[in-house]
Structure 1
């Protein structure tokens, strides 16, 4: 099948790898986002999908807008039978959706219609879900609203971070995409309409979403920390210093004589325990502003916290 792949971040690379390994797929080219500044030094860097595509010798296009007439003309000349879109980063115009006779399909990081949107993997952990998954679907004019093809469930471990779940889901998505492509080639791919009444949403995250509110329960805060590890990270304030917190462990201990956000115990071998609105939370890793991530024990050597000190949800 003559196929064009559209994707940009690491999550999409496993899907491109899966297509590359399908003997019946002829990859005509890859469409990805333009190279952009990234990191502290704002060095221009290519999208991960571009890096892999060049490694395997696949032509790459990087349009600023996929709706641009010159890009659409290129796609018409290629005449793909199938277009695969995975975390591309731009909305696909109707003219492109209607171009391939076998349709445009997508790999989405949730069990649709749950968690439509840009951050389904983060939100599943933040919400305390124990099961998530990936879905392949046909793209339509909406956002993650098209008919579903196949699904695959994944369990979420109690200590799982969005980083580890992202990597597992990327692999699962690649495998499910290969299975979906096989169904399309064989002419037996299902089309299952989504129940829009059951739709939930996972909007794009930004750094402000990581602010910890200590009046929430230890479980909720722990889920937030894991759901934002490694990016954008959950953070709090100690005086005027911002601290990013990682590796939480809920402690089954109600410390009502301490206010929310108070440090109730310090163990240089384990970390420090913080009181919350319900229960308490052991923090095992910390990243001070402008510093590298480190164990809580290493942090305590340079930042001597004391019992009764209090973290704040804003600069006092």
Structure 2
């Protein structure tokens, strides 16, 4: 097929390579423009931009596409069979959705209609879902409301993080996409029941409320790794929490350290913190953290 590929982050790169390896003609790649990054704030190209450039594919980086007739016409002039959209990050207007012969197909990181929206991977872990997956969807003007052509599921481990699930769904989605395009496309409408929405995450999403149960805070830590990251404070200093283990714990108030080994009382149960990061430092194991920090029983986190 003659395909347009639209994607931005690392999650989309395996799909781009899989389409190329399957023999499809990628006539153009759309990705978001280079953004300032790093301490020097130098402009950095997106992972998809880098991958497309390495493959010798023409790259387009429009800042906006919704209300730009010139961009709509250029997109239609590519005369594509379909556009493949994988975490592109911009909303497509109907003029672009309908331009390719088969429309626009989206690789979405959930089993629709569960977790429509911006953060499906993180939301599945935060909610304690036992499984997740990917859906290939025929895009329409709604928010992830289009008919589904194919889906593939995967079980979630008790220690699953957003990082591990991200990598697995990225590869799973690429494989499913190629398999879907190899056969006539038959879409089924999403069921009316079971719809949930994944909210856009911010840094504040990672702030730990120690009055919540330990199991919920554990999911918050795992679901927000690596971004935006779960965090708390200790002696006025922000601490990013990389991992923790739910344990039994009694006595004390939420946020209070129950021992000298970073066991924290929660609203229900307790968490033993196993990886932490101080500002300007690398993430480290709890033992290394304690060697450079005087922390003892009855001190409070999150105050």
Q: Same fold (TM over 0.5)?
A: yes
* Rounded Cα–Cα distance in structure 2 between residues aligned with 1:171 and 1:163: 13
Deviation string 1:83-118 (CA, Å, 9 cap, x unpaired) is: 111100110110011111112100000000000001
Deviates more, 1:133-142 or 1:257-266: 257-266
Report if aligned partners of 2:37, 2:44 keep a CA contact under 8 Å in 1.
yes
Q: Name which of 227, 236, 241 aligns with 2:237.
A: 241
1:254 aligns with 2:244: no
Give 1:46's aligned residue. Answer: 45
Give 1:105's aligned residue. Answer: 105
Gapped regions of structure 2 (runs ≥ 5): none
* Rounded Cα–Cα distance in structure 2 between residues aligned with 1:27 and 1:243: 45
**How far is 1:71 from its partner?**
2.0
Give 1:293's aligned residue. Answer: 283
The number of equivalent residue pairs is 302
**How far is 1:281 from its partner?**
0.6
Give 1:202's aligned residue. Answer: 198
**How far is 1:72 from its partner?**
2.0
Q: TM-score if structure 1 supplies the norm length?
A: 0.93
* Rounded Cα–Cα distance in structure 2 between residues aligned with 1:221 and 1:41: 34
* Rounded Cα–Cα distance in structure 2 between residues aligned with 1:40 and 1:217: 37
Q: Name which of 276, 282, 292 aligns with 2:266.
A: 276
Report if aligned partners of 2:115, 2:123 keep a CA contact under 8 Å in 1.
yes
**How far is 1:75 from its partner?**
1.7
Report if aligned partners of 2:11, 2:167 keep a CA contact under 8 Å in 1.
yes
Report if aligned partners of 2:76, 2:100 keep a CA contact under 8 Å in 1.
no
Deviation string 1:13-52 (CA, Å, 9 cap, x unpaired) is: 11111111112x1110101000011234322100100100
Deviation string 1:235-264 (CA, Å, 9 cap, x unpaired) is: 11112111011211111x131x21111111
**How far is 1:303 from its partner?**
1.2
* Rounded Cα–Cα distance in structure 2 between residues aligned with 1:240 and 1:60: 46
Give 1:264's aligned residue. Answer: 258
Q: TM-score if structure 2 supplies the norm length?
A: 0.97
- After superposition, the CA RMSD in angstroms is 1.1
**How far is 1:294 from its partner?**
1.1
Gapped regions of structure 1 (runs ≥ 5): none
**How far is 1:197 from its partner?**
3.4
